[in-house]
Amino acid sequence: MDYLYLPPTFGTSWAMKAATKTPDKKQIQSAPKVGVVSLGCPKALVDSERIMTKLRSQGYELSGTYEGADVVIVNTCGFLESAQKESLDAIGEAISANGKVIVTGCMGAEPEKIRAIHPKVHTITGPHQYENVVNAVHEVVKPVHDPYVDLVPEAGLRLTPRHYAYLKISEGCNNRCTFCIIPKLRGDLVSRSTAHVLHEAANLVKAGVKELLVISQDTSAYGLDIKYAESVFKGRAVKAKFYDLAEALGEMGVWVRMHYVYPYPHVDGVIELMAAGKILPYLDIPFQHAAPNVLKNMKRPAMQAKTLDRIKAWRETCPDLVIRSSFIVGFPGETEEDFQFLLDWLQEAQLDRVGCFKYEPVDGATSEDLNLPEIPQAVKDERWERLMAVQQVISAKRLAAKIGRIIPCIIDEVDGEGGGNARSYGDAPEIDGSVYLRNVPKKYVQGDIVNVLIEDADEYDMYGVIKK
């Protein structure tokens, strides 16, 4: 995983909103209720959605409070020490407020760590063990006799707003980045069949989704484990290949946004799809660093690729391409020279959006066995500040270049007072900026894609007006 994603807190979660939609009072009183606390990245969020969908199809209600739930599922994140701490705190909170707690997700791969602090947890399962989670729920509170299958929308239950959805195309990862324990927790790459992914995408579109966010641990490696096997969707054989999947998704008539892509040579073909307007000209590539010896110590995939040349070529093919990335500063052994290399690289690469983490040692990560000198916290902090300062100037310049242009944007929110906020093709939800709209005529609603004249911009957001 390359991002920490923290969805809305338990009390205000989409799970709570879904729970309030049940129409029949009698059913509300009799159905067993489950609370879901979902932590971590969008991939974990998709796992929570699958568990919720399964339980809902068996007649369980979703509770927005600990007190109203018969059992609480905590889907944990184990990416960094801080994420593990947050997961352990969430488990503790659920135990004191409810008492019956089932833990799943990345941290569930280390049950002894959880039991040492919270011995009263009912069941612990590892990541994507949906069936085990559902069975554990059955043990605590049996499903109602007559499942309300018709209450489950065809697209399943989601934690995202109605107009966008994450589409997970694979689990696990074949890479072995030294700072990351995801492959240990989630195993090697397991790709879903293309037909399965496309079927889910089609159901989401049918349910009103206007933007599909393709996620996995390594999206560009899609299909490698199943030897790019073909599967049939709507009478047509489609290969389990990044390009073929992108092309098929691009035919669904909605925005398609690619996350967690690595700069492998075969990505070039997908840039052509972007230039042709089939999918959004947006790439989320977690570069993590640029200095060759840091990348080598990190064991990053495609580290030998000449990424600056590749970015240049991509922009020649698709001038509107927006690139977002994330970086880690303070990795063991990172010298001032390495860090300066990274800053110079950023100046050269002119990425549109950048997130930055300070390196944290994680139990089980092989970076800790490299015997490289640790970077003092004060140096990590200072490097983080310097990187963000450099990038803010670049991001501001790239957004300023859009002033005066008319750009398609998707409406996220209408404020009821004539304004609202949206995102351009270059802004992914949660991680990028917004486009603040000063006029939203009444006929427009959340999820509408409108042409916006960009009037102003700062280092994160843009400001504009809807044009007819």
Q: How far apart are CA 271 and CA 423, in angstroms?
A: 21
- When the beta carbons of 215 and 323 are compared against ligand SF4, the nearer one is 215
- When the beta carbons of 43 and 158 are compared against ligand SF4, the nearer one is 43
- When the beta carbons of 42 and 250 are compared against ligand SF4, the nearer one is 42
DSSP 340-402: HHHHHHHHHH--SEEEEEE----TT-GGGGS-PPPPPHHHHHHHHHHHHHHHHHHHHHHHHTT
Least separation, in Å, of the C-beta of 343 and ligand SF4? 22
The rounded Cα 351 to chain-centroid distance in angstroms is 19
Token representation of residue 129: 């063990």
32, 85 in Cβ contact below 8 A?
no
Longest alpha-carbon distance in the chain: 68
Q: Is 180 in the site for ligand SF4 (CB under 6 A)?
A: yes
Q: Which of 22, 175, 317, 350 binds ligand SF4 (CB under 6 A)?
A: 175
293, 304 in Cβ contact below 8 A?
no
The stretch among 175-183, 274-282, 404-412, 438-446 that binds ligand SF4 (CB under 6 A) is: 175-183
**Could you tell me how many residues of this chain bind ligand SF4 (CB under 6 A)?**
12
Q: Is 217 in the site for ligand SF4 (CB under 6 A)?
A: yes
Residues 6 or more apart in contact with residue 12 via CB below 8 angstroms: none
Token representation of residue 227: 């030897």
Question: Which residue is it, tokens 């007559």?
Answer: 146
- When the beta carbons of 1 and 109 are compared against ligand SF4, the nearer one is 1
- When the beta carbons of 147 and 187 are compared against ligand SF4, the nearer one is 187
Please, is 431 exposed, middle or buried when counting C-beta atoms within 10 Å of its C-beta (0-12, 13-18, 19+)? middle
The 3-state DSSP class for residue 282 equals strand
Q: Is 155 in the site for ligand SF4 (CB under 6 A)?
A: no
- When the beta carbons of 288 and 424 are compared against ligand SF4, the nearer one is 288
- When the beta carbons of 123 and 217 are compared against ligand SF4, the nearer one is 217
Q: Which of 95, 173, 248, 414 binds ligand SF4 (CB under 6 A)?
A: 173
To which H or E segment does residue 457 belong? strand 449-457
- When the beta carbons of 166 and 255 are compared against ligand SF4, the nearer one is 166
Token representation of residue 130: 């949906």
- When the beta carbons of 155 and 285 are compared against ligand SF4, the nearer one is 285
Give the long-range contacts of residues 18-21, CB within 8 A, separation 24 or more.
Answer: 18/52, 18/56, 18/62, 18/157, 19/61, 19/62, 19/63, 19/64, 20/64
Of the candidates 234, 112, 237, 221, the residue with the CA atom closest to the CA atom of residue 173: 221
The rounded Cα 450 to chain-centroid distance in angstroms is 24
Find the length of the chain: 468
The stretch among 172-180, 202-210, 232-240, 371-379 that binds ligand SF4 (CB under 6 A) is: 172-180
Q: Which of 218, 244, 247, 284 binds ligand SF4 (CB under 6 A)?
A: 218
Q: Is 294 in the site for ligand SF4 (CB under 6 A)?
A: no
Q: Is 247 in the site for ligand SF4 (CB under 6 A)?
A: no
Q: Is 177 in the site for ligand SF4 (CB under 6 A)?
A: yes
Q: Is 183 in the site for ligand SF4 (CB under 6 A)?
A: yes
Least separation, in Å, of the C-beta of 344 and ligand SF4? 24
Least separation, in Å, of the C-beta of 187 and ligand SF4? 11
Of the candidates 7, 13, 20, 10, the residue with the CA atom closest to the CA atom of residue 151: 20
The 3-state DSSP class for residue 159 equals coil
Of the candidates 405, 407, 433, the residue with the CA atom closest to the CA atom of residue 421: 433
Q: Is 171 in the site for ligand SF4 (CB under 6 A)?
A: no
- When the beta carbons of 38 and 220 are compared against ligand SF4, the nearer one is 220
Least separation, in Å, of the C-beta of 215 and ligand SF4? 11
Q: Is 412 in the site for ligand SF4 (CB under 6 A)?
A: no
Burial 111-123 (b: 16+ CB within 10 A, else e): eebbeeebeebbb
Q: Is 1 in the site for ligand SF4 (CB under 6 A)?
A: yes
Q: Between 300 and 329, how does the x/- string for binding to ligand SF4 read (CB under 6 A)?
A: -x----------------------------
Q: Is 44 in the site for ligand SF4 (CB under 6 A)?
A: no
Q: Where do contacts with ligand SF4 occur on this chain (CB under 6 A)?
A: 1-2, 173, 175-177, 180, 182-183, 217-218, 301
